Amino acid sequence: MAEIGAVVFDLDGVLLQSEELWDDVRRELAAAAGRRWPATATRDMMGMSSPEWSRYLVEQVGLPGTPEEVNERVLDELLGRYRDELPWIDGAPEAVERMAALWPLGLASSSNRQIIDHALEIGGLTRHFAVTVSSEEVPRGKPAPDVYLETARKLAIAPARCAAIEDSSNGLRSAAAAGMRVIAVPNPAHPPDPDALSLAAVAIGSLAALTPVVAGGEREAGD
């Protein structure tokens, strides 16, 4: 196993309990337009980039307007909610600070650039991240590896030397496809599929368990 040289966090579901907010905003837009919410829509869109999920909302859910217009409506509503309160997952800021004390950090997120920058700034975490990448800035969203590969490229560290912290099925698949050491922190609200969870080198119950030993794989090396 390669020595870890960087840690890459996901945002939604790992640092922020925000999947529900995204879902609420999209459902409300669909309801306001008189559109039925497909049973698989929430799960289908997890990990999609903003161009992908906004196109899904237009083509599969039937929201009026262009994907670009739908994206702006969702983004405006979500930013409004984030101004009221950032839903940090327990232990998230502490986990970031703990990892930043030892390694350069990256963020590989499906959130829009505005959401990433706002959340890290309001949370006082911007200084800890050497690199942040939104999947809207790469050709494909998760489960494709693009956002993780771009983060590693910008960190100038080989993907095999990066530990990725993920929660969702598509996020786990994305980080694994990039060749990173994957650490799963399953989110009880949206638990990953068993086959996706099996891609992780280790699964932990909470961010409190994200220690340097777990991130670096020292436990495995000593087995």
44 is catalytic: no
Q: Would you say 63 and 35 are in contact if contact means Cβ atoms under 8 Å apart? A: yes
Helix axes 113-122, 67-84, angle to 10 degrees: 10
193 is catalytic: no
What sign does the dihedral 118-26-60-68 (CA atoms) show? negative
Catalytic residue from among 12, 23, 146, 167: 12
Distance CA 108, CA 132 (A): 6
> Which residues, including other chains, have CB under 8 Å from residue 68's CB and lie 6 or more apart?
54
Give residue 137's Cα distance to chain centre. 14
**Which amino acids are annotated catalytic?**
10, 12
